[in-house]
Amino acid sequence: MGNSSADPDILQTVAKRSPLLERLEDGPAAKPELIEVLDCSRSTINRAIRELEGLDCIRRTDDGFQLTVAGRLALSEHRRSLRTFESVSQLSDLLRDLPAETPIAVEMVRGATLLETPPHAPSEPLEEIIDLIGRADRIRGMAAADRMPKFRQQFYDGSVNGDLDVELLLTEDLARFTLTEYTQRLRELIVDGGVDLYAVETVPYELSIVETPTKSVVYVILLNSDLTHRGVIRNDSADAIEWAHGLFRRHRASATSLSPFDDR
């Protein structure tokens, strides 16, 4: 693409000419075939060819026109952008009122699923997370509220009675509440279950990275001002999982280890 790579019209050109690029994915094609397959006029195809040649996305060969490596990469990025915008649109109602600085990256949004919250069963999305925790061997999470007794029980059964590897960041308010209300259970989690707990001032939302022997899934639980959950986003893509682990590590770096028991 040479110096033209800084041209702000590149994405627009690739998007506009994507049907031609997609045809050339199947192999070289001569101009008459492009006119016929794309149902365009000769002048339109000539203009498209000039634009794409100028971006080094296609090249002339003895067999017609051929997609270049640059063209293949540009088309792939175009498709990825479409998936991202589609996902953002699907989640727009949930994301609309969040502060602009809320640290949700495109990696979490692209290809994500919004778990519906039926009016008659508001805890249904959380039940999915609880069920997956029951089959997990590793959990990384951030929490701001004492959600459901089933969460506590799954962590207890998995870590104290099993081999579940748990690392949790609790907001300072939740840590104080937990130490007061569940002192003995917390002691068993830390001492007997080997659970690593940390206290952090605040979290932007609740996060669960649940890893089972067969799959890993990321859940982002967006919160209302009273800490009730307003929506749950699920994503199991490799990009989302990598992003979630990075986010967790960054918050853990500013957290304080919660080790209130001498015989830990």
Give the C-alpha distances (Å, rounded to integers) separating 96 from 6, 92, 105, 142: 31, 6, 15, 22
38 Cβ partners below 8 Å, 6+ apart?
A: 19, 20, 23, 45
Give the C-alpha distances (Å, rounded to integers) separating 170 from 144, 177, 203, 206, 225: 6, 10, 8, 9, 17
Identical fold between 6-79 and 104-257 = no
Summarize pLDDT for 23-41 with one digit per residue, the tens.
999 999 999 999 999 999 9
> What is the arithmetic mean of pLDDT over 236-244?
97
Summarize pLDDT for 94-134 with one digit per residue, the tens.
888 888 889 999 999 999 999 977 777 778 889 999 999 99
Q: If phi over 0 gives left and psi between -120 and 50 gives alpha, with beta otherwise, what is residue 20?
A: alpha
Summarize pLDDT for 160-170 with one digit per residue, the tens.
989 999 999 99
* CATH code for the part of the protein at 104-257: 3.30.870.10
Flag whether pLDDT at 1 surpasses 60.
Answer: no
Flag whether pLDDT at 69 surpasses 70.
Answer: yes
26 Cβ partners below 8 Å, 6+ apart?
A: none
Out of 90-99, 177-186, 195-204, give the one with best mean pLDDT.
195-204
Would you list the domain boundaries of the chain? 6-79, 104-257
What proportion of the chain, given as a percentage, has pLDDT over 70? 95
Cα 86 from Cα 56, distance rounded (Å): 28
Which two three-digit tokens encode residue 34? 């492009």
Q: SS3 of 170, please? A: strand
Cα 142 from Cα 249, distance rounded (Å): 11
Pinpoint the alpha helices (H) of the chain.
Answer: 10-16, 18-24, 31-38, 42-54, 69-90, 92-95, 106-109, 124-133, 149-160, 172-181, 183-187, 238-253
**What pTM value is reported for the model?**
0.81
The CATH architecture that domain 6-79 belongs to is: Orthogonal Bundle (1.10)
What proportion of the chain, given as a percentage, has pLDDT over 90? 68
- Please report the sign of the dihedral spanned by the C-alpha atoms of residue 126, residue 128, residue 133, residue 136: negative
Give the mean pLDDT of the chain: 90
Q: How many CB atoms lie within 10 A of CB 89?
A: 10
Check residue 261 and give its pLDDT.
56
Check residue 147 and give its pLDDT.
85
Cα 169 from Cα 258, distance rounded (Å): 9
**Among 223, 220, 263, CA closest to 87:** 220
> What is the arithmetic mean of pLDDT over 244-255?
96
Cα 233 from Cα 199, distance rounded (Å): 24
Check residue 4 and give its pLDDT.
45
Give strand pairing partners of 211: 138, 216
Residue 172 CA to chain centroid, in angstroms?
26
Which two three-digit tokens encode residue 50? 């000039």
Flag whether pLDDT at 18 surpasses 70.
Answer: yes
Cα 86 from Cα 52, distance rounded (Å): 25
